[in-house]
Structure 1
Amino acid sequence: MLRNLRLHRVLWAVTGLLALVAAVTGVAVPGIYAGVVAEDLRPGAFSQDIISALASAVLIALALAGGNEPAKGQIAALGLLGYFFYAYGIYAIERAYNGFYLVYLAIFGLSFWALIAAGASLERNLFEPDLPRNLRIVSASGALLQPLIFYPLWIAMLVPLMISGDQIDSLYSIFILDLCFIMPAFLLLAFLTYRSHPLGLLLLPALYVLGFTLIFSLALGELAKPMFGLEINLQSFWLSLVLSVFFAAIGTFHLLKLDLTPRPRQPASQAASQRPPGPAPEHRR
């Protein structure tokens, strides 16, 4: 699916290794967030580091896999890169100025450019991906649901701040990342998947991988609150858990049922040469 796969594997490995070091340190020494992450948000940072450690291990495994990595493995890797872009984008934008801040910036930047490189290297002409119609509609509808919910929700939270001129101290990165990057991606890929466009069919599962890892870390963060002397918000826990299971289920079915059998397209010149001859055009006098 991707040209120059060796280069992409290097990008995946470096990103995964940096994320593994940062995440494992965050889990082992939660105190690194003292003073740079609000006290009520530290359970979320702890749970995000757990998910990041697992995600980085999977990304490194995909990078080190021998042979030509299957296309579906590459799709999963793109989803994990999207997760790192979002997760460490939060630390970068929110100015988490601890000893790992430069590492956070490196992960944020590497994951972004690895995604750009992947987009430029897609061998779309080697595949005509196919997905059963019913599953294609369900997958696209699930993706469309996200911007329909979060655009009004986030905008409704931003308008009072815009009117009053208040500046919140934390989580403003969520507005930036969601409204500028994630929701437009869901919207675009939902439309392309509805149209059975190859880009939508190929990339929408990666977005579901991103969604699952992000939202599941929120559910895990609720369970981690007692470790930090805070009470679990059961409503937030169940909402995050249900949404993460939703992402996991749709993304898994989409990826499993996605037909990626190579069907090379004929060059236009060859296709034209195989057309049956038609009536000769009349010559103008």
Structure 2
Amino acid sequence: MGRCGNTRETLIFLREVAMLTHLFLNRVLWAVAGLLALAAAATGVWRPGIYNGVVAPDLVPGAYSQDLLSVAAGLGLLYLSYAAKPQRAKFQIVALGLLGYLFYAYGIYVIERTYNGLYLLYMAVFALSFWALVTAGATVARDAPSVSLSRAPRIASAAGAILQPLIFYPLWIGMLLPLMRSGEQIDSLYSIFILDLCFIMPGFLILAFLTYRNHRTGLLLLPALYVLGFTLIFSLAVGELVKPLFGAEPSLAAFLPALGLSGLFLVLGSLHLAKLKAVNPLAAAAAGSQPIPQQSERSGRQTLEKPSPTVKRNA
């Protein structure tokens, strides 16, 4: 009886405490961002001609493939805004990754001045995805259950994350140095330097360190960065596949690395999420007869409930 009572209390706690407080607000932001991205991306897929004159002809297949992935990301966010209940922390993590992808994808359009009829919509998706991420960061539940990841997948995940800055910092800086010496201003893809060097690579560095140290923030957020990486890099692989639609020849040398790196992100992110476990905090709370905080999904308001006599007897 005591064991069953303890299990029941654990399930109640994990069901009622979300990874994010004010989850209703977060889900509304996800839904709006997903809807706007879906509108912008579906228009680009339906009428690729909107990129004529504002995107270099050799980059139009990449814009088209990015729109295909953005359609999927928008639909995914719409679904997650409905399905990411408080007890589904992994759904919330995936949603943050898709928001990160939209921030990056539409950051490219905004920074590179893609001045077609959808530019204001691009700005809206870019801004909303950024502020949705800020809102999520500000509403991470401080008293939600801790999480754990066994040593092998934790080290593998941290190693995969640290690998990205080790590759892309030298690569991008090596491409920037000649431009800095000559003063040349390139017309396209300079947004990649900004977004990668200022946002994505520092994120990988920080979360790799936190994951290696078994810190809760790293364990929760690194899979979101893998979701971002997978969707973004997979769009490059798809871009090679759709080139014949635009009269261009696919490049195997570009396709295979993009496919391999996106596959790495998919494997690491899936492994991390699959092995991520919530740690039951009831034993410590029961031992000290401390009240257990619980949260409302919509408001994030906390209530205090004392442990049941069953839990006390087990302690």
What is the one-letter code of the residue matched to 1:225?
Answer: K
Task: Give 1:262 deviation, angstroms.
Answer: 4.7
What is the one-letter code of the residue matched to 1:167?
Answer: Q
Measure the CA separation in 1 of the matches of 2:204 and 2:57: 32
What is the one-letter code of the residue matched to 2:42?
Answer: V
1:233 to 228, 251, 267: 251
**What does residue range 201-280 of structure 1 map to in structure 2 within 5 Å?**
201-263=219-281
Measure the CA separation in 1 of the matches of 2:43 and 2:22: 33
Alpha-carbon RMSD across the aligned residues, in angstroms, is: 1.5
Please give the secondary structure, in 1, of the residue aligned with 2:277.
coil
> What is the aligned partner in structure 1 of residue 25 from structure 2?
7
The answer to whether the Cα contact below 8 Å between 1:33 and 1:98 also exists between their aligned partners in 2 is yes
User: How many residues end up aligned between the 2 structures?
Assistant: 270
Measure the CA separation in 2 of the matches of 1:106 and 1:7: 18
Please give the secondary structure, in 2, of the residue aligned with 1:230.
coil
The answer to whether the Cα contact below 8 Å between 1:126 and 1:265 also exists between their aligned partners in 2 is no
> What is the aligned partner in structure 1 of residue 193 from structure 2?
175
Task: Give 1:128 deviation, angstroms.
Answer: 1.4
Measure the CA separation in 2 of the matches of 1:233 and 1:271: 64
Measure the CA separation in 2 of the matches of 1:74 and 1:32: 33
CA deviation digits over 1:78-102, x for unaligned, max 9? 0000000000000000000001000
Output the TM-score relative to the length of structure 2.
0.83
Measure the CA separation in 2 of the matches of 1:82 and 1:265: 36
Change (3 A) 1:40 1:260: same
CA deviation digits over 1:40-71, x for unaligned, max 9? 00000000000000111010011122743610
The answer to whether the Cα contact below 8 Å between 2:233 and 2:261 also exists between their aligned partners in 1 is yes
The list of structure 1 runs, each at least 4 consecutive aligned residues, that deviate by more than 4 angstroms after superposition, is 264-267
Task: Give 1:229 deviation, angstroms.
Answer: 1.0
Measure the CA separation in 2 of the matches of 1:265 and 1:156: 53
Output the TM-score relative to the length of structure 1.
0.92
Measure the CA separation in 1 of the matches of 2:238 and 2:102: 17
> What is the aligned partner in structure 1 of residue 16 from structure 2?
none
**What does residue range 27-46 of structure 1 map to in structure 2 within 5 Å?**
27-46=45-64
The answer to whether the Cα contact below 8 Å between 2:20 and 2:86 also exists between their aligned partners in 1 is no
> What is the aligned partner in structure 2 of residue 121 from structure 1?
139
Task: Give 1:264 deviation, angstroms.
Answer: 5.8
Measure the CA separation in 2 of the matches of 1:260 and 1:233: 44
The answer to whether the Cα contact below 8 Å between 1:208 and 1:247 also exists between their aligned partners in 2 is yes
Change (3 A) 1:69 1:39: farther
Measure the CA separation in 1 of the matches of 2:60 and 2:107: 16
Change (3 A) 1:102 1:153: same
What is the one-letter code of the residue matched to 2:215?
Answer: H
Change (3 A) 1:265 1:194: farther
What is the one-letter code of the residue matched to 2:174?
Answer: A
1:24 to 39, 42, 45: 42
> What is the aligned partner in structure 1 of residue 211 from structure 2?
193
The answer to whether the Cα contact below 8 Å between 1:79 and 1:208 also exists between their aligned partners in 2 is yes
